[in-house]
Structure 1
Amino acid sequence: MRGSYSLIAATSVAALVLSACGGGGDEVSATSFDIAVSNATELYSIPWLVGKDQGFFEERGVTIGKIVPSKGGGTTIRNMLSGDLPMADVGFTSVLESSDADMPLTVVSGATQSVYGLDFYALDSNKQVRSIKDVRNWAYTNPQSVTQALSFMLPRVAGATQEIERTSSGGVGEGVALLEAGDVDVAVVPPSVAAKTGKFRMVVSSADYLDKFQQSVITTTPEFAEHHPDTVKAVVEGYAQAVQFIRDNPGRAAQLYADYIDIDTDAATDLVNKAVKYDNWGAGFDAEAIDQAVEAQRIAMDRKELKFCDLFQTTFLPKNVSSTLPAECE
């Protein structure tokens, strides 16, 4: 499984490099483009919605068009690699996979820096599973995913010692199906899904166990970063301003999100307030958040060594955000 995944990642990133270097890359506007966002119906989208609504990107000379959704980091990278999506808010573990295949992207900014939203739910009707220490069959999405690593990390942090059987569902939707069928005790249920139904009950709030975790990053190709540094800087600065706006105006952010995914405003407000509480978004680089994500990927890949330090470029970060990288990158 790992070999085929790495081959796909390598092929995809190679396509991106060719796209950015060749004629296709020249057709991409450096100041007006869509943005690819992993799981765009979830909380990842909110800073982009705010930035567009408040004009934070346009006032810096960049027009962000559509928020292009995908089902996960690898898919987001493939969307980005199609030739007309020069930047993306992509799962950090997918970037690590690409780097491991010796086809690194360039990480120009942080994005989602907590595991809030990657929470594990049981059916509300399942009265036997009330806490993490009751979980006997744990569904994660795919091998080498963050959710697989969390199925190991969270019980360890919580001091849960029971024997746990782990099941790869193949995706979030498939995990929910397994949960509804009674085949697993817990699975990831997206906040937008949980907000629309009363069928599920949260058993493991991941962010209660892991303070920081680099879930997603803003990335581009080394070529685009080199040839269009002002555009990259404008996007990062706009994102940073959007994050601050969310902290100062959670109600407006919640309304934008409620309208975007068609959920009740009160439910959206609750999600945004909790995300702010967990410091969910950040344009800067946080050493602890990056370290936790790298450790998770090492667990998921059963690897002790991962190349990742060369991925980061701090030159595009605003002065008012953190630029701290893990000690091994110094």
Structure 2
Amino acid sequence: MMKSRTALIAGAAAAALVLSACGGSGGATDATAFDIAVSNASEPYSIPWLVGKDQGFFEKRGVSIGEIVPGKGGGTTVRNMLSGDLPIADVGFTSVLESSEAGAPLAIVGGATQSVYGLDFYALDSNTRVRSITDIGKWAYTNPQSVTQALTHILPEVAGATQPIERTSSGGVGEGVALLEAGDVDVAVVPPSVVAKTDKFRVVVSSADHLKKFQQSVITTTPEFAERNPDTVKAVVAGYADAVAFIRENPDRAAQLYADYIDIDVAHAAAIVDKAIQYDNWSAGFDPAAIEQAVEAQRMVMDRTDLEFCGLFRKEFLPGNVPATLPAECE
């Protein structure tokens, strides 16, 4: 953990150089044309960004978003944002909490994913011993600081599972699947994009059925970038909000874009989009219940009760048509 935190602090120093470049003579151009870092971009996190680009929701506000740069979850996506020319990211909320504790604070300028749909834990279908959460002995998550790590703590708690559990970091989603196939763990996260292509996995824990609200990811930047480029940040968050509204009204178009992006058939993509809508998966606004649940999970991971988080949220960048309520302890 100390090594990860040191890397985050080093990344913050690198970010200062990037931000300095954005604030120079070419700052206006740099601040309005950039790539977006997105945790596990092959999964539903990417859909609002794909829709926003396709429908011109960012461009009509003067922002050009180029590539969606994938992270591998956890602190890796935070470091990806801090160490490169990626001023804004859709990143795991628990990773933002960890980076703040490590001395590299970030600014949360919008919500993003507010459910844990897509973070279900699967066993091999051939593993007849593991049928429910109470059967899990070896549980893989992706990376330290990730939402999946927090889920391995809070899901047994809410489900009343009391058996001893050995938790292990796989290093990523694909690596977790490899551990499953090797028989080294009982369950691991298998994302919808993989499940859509095979029938060799069986869901054991449907995370969203246990946790109705959970702030899984947030739209994040550095405080320096937000202060220097407030209109750019507002444009990105508003464009994301427009994309979420569009997805609800036009799920078929969203499914087509997602199917093309990750190379799955449209029927499977449509099922993923419909399920995400069912779980109220995306919002540019702040949901106090989702935030509280995620903070509680992270407190369990870090074994502490004094985790500070309220100062990370910046309401002034939210458009007027999204919720802006924070947990009671922040008001």
Q: Is the 8 A contact 1:25 1:84 kept in 2?
A: no
Structure 2 Cα separation of the partners of residues 250 and 309 of structure 1: 34
- Shift of residue 286 of structure 1? 0.8
Q: Deviations over 1:66-97 (max 9, x none)?
A: 11112124222223224522211111111111
Which residue identity lines up with residue 149 of structure 1 in the other structure? A
Q: Is the 8 A contact 1:17 1:221 kept in 2?
A: no
Aligned-pair Cα RMSD in Å:
1.6
Structure 1 Cα separation of the partners of residues 51 and 32 of structure 2: 18
**Which residue of structure 2 lines up, in the alignment, with residue 23 of structure 1?**
21
Q: How do 1:217-256 and structure 2 match up within 5 A?
A: 217-256=218-257
Which residue identity lines up with residue 269 of structure 1 in the other structure? A
Structure 2 Cα separation of the partners of residues 220 and 144 of structure 1: 18
1:62 pairs with 2:53: no
Structure 1 Cα separation of the partners of residues 253 and 195 of structure 2: 21
Structure 1 Cα separation of the partners of residues 97 and 324 of structure 2: 19
1:34 pairs with 2:35: yes
Structure 2 Cα separation of the partners of residues 167 and 231 of structure 1: 39
Aligned to 1:175, the other structure's residue is in SS state helix
**Which residue of structure 2 lines up, in the alignment, with residue 315 of structure 1?**
316
Q: How do 1:77-116 and structure 2 match up within 5 A?
A: 77-116=78-117
Structure 1 Cα separation of the partners of residues 229 and 302 of structure 2: 34
Which residue identity lines up with residue 168 of structure 1 in the other structure? S
**Which residue of structure 2 lines up, in the alignment, with residue 213 of structure 1?**
214
Q: Deviations over 1:189-217 (max 9, x none)?
A: 11111111111111111000001111111
**Which residue of structure 1 lines up, in the alignment, with residue 51 of structure 2?**
50
Structure 1 Cα separation of the partners of residues 250 and 22 of structure 2: 40
Q: Deviations over 1:130-154 (max 9, x none)?
A: 2222222222223443222211211
**Which residue of structure 2 lines up, in the alignment, with residue 13 of structure 1?**
12
Q: Which moved more, 1:216-225 or 1:69-78?
A: 69-78
1:142 pairs with 2:143: yes
Q: How do 1:259-278 and structure 2 match up within 5 A?
A: 259-278=260-279
**Which residue of structure 2 lines up, in the alignment, with residue 153 of structure 1?**
154
Q: Is the 8 A contact 2:57 2:239 kept in 1?
A: yes
Structure 1 Cα separation of the partners of residues 273 and 137 of structure 2: 31
Q: Is the 8 A contact 1:13 1:98 kept in 2?
A: no
Aligned to 1:30, the other structure's residue is in SS state helix
TM-score of the pair, normalised by structure 1: 0.95
- Percent identical among aligned pairs is 74
Q: Is the 8 A contact 2:74 2:143 kept in 1?
A: no
Structure 2 Cα separation of the partners of residues 160 and 80 of structure 1: 36
Q: Which moved more, 1:312-321 or 1:293-302?
A: 293-302
Q: Is the 8 A contact 1:146 1:300 kept in 2?
A: no
User: Residues 144 and 65 (structure 1 numbering): CA distance in 2 closer, same or farther, change over 3 Å?
Assistant: closer
Structure 2 Cα separation of the partners of residues 142 and 228 of structure 1: 31
- Shift of residue 123 of structure 1? 0.5
**Which residue of structure 2 lines up, in the alignment, with residue 325 of structure 1?**
326
Structure 2 Cα separation of the partners of residues 143 and 45 of structure 1: 22
Q: Deviations over 1:161-215 (max 9, x none)?
A: 3333333323222221111111221111111111111111111110000011111
Aligned to 1:81, the other structure's residue is in SS state helix
**Which residue of structure 1 lines up, in the alignment, with residue 295 of structure 2?**
294
Q: Is the 8 A contact 2:94 2:294 kept in 1?
A: yes
Aligned to 2:31, the other structure's residue is in SS state coil
Structure 1 Cα separation of the partners of residues 197 and 250 of structure 2: 24
Q: Is the 8 A contact 1:25 1:83 kept in 2?
A: no
Structure 2 Cα separation of the partners of residues 187 and 102 of structure 1: 31
Which residue identity lines up with residue 38 of structure 2 in the other structure? V
Structure 1 unaligned residues grouped into runs of 5+: none
Structure 2 Cα separation of the partners of residues 83 and 152 of structure 1: 32
Structure 2 unaligned residues grouped into runs of 5+: none
Equivalenced residues, count: 328
Aligned to 1:177, the other structure's residue is in SS state helix
Q: Deviations over 1:279-329 (max 9, x none)?
A: 111000111111111111111122222121111110111111111111121
Structure 2 Cα separation of the partners of residues 138 and 184 of structure 1: 6
**Which residue of structure 2 lines up, in the alignment, with residue 280 of structure 1?**
281
Structure 1 Cα separation of the partners of residues 35 and 143 of structure 2: 28
Aligned to 2:301, the other structure's residue is in SS state helix
Structure 2 Cα separation of the partners of residues 75 and 257 of structure 1: 23
Structure 1 Cα separation of the partners of residues 80 and 176 of structure 2: 24
User: Residues 142 and 85 (structure 1 numbering): CA distance in 2 closer, same or farther, change over 3 Å?
Assistant: closer
Aligned to 1:273, the other structure's residue is in SS state helix
Structure 1 Cα separation of the partners of residues 86 and 92 of structure 2: 16
Structure 2 Cα separation of the partners of residues 6 and 315 of structure 1: 29
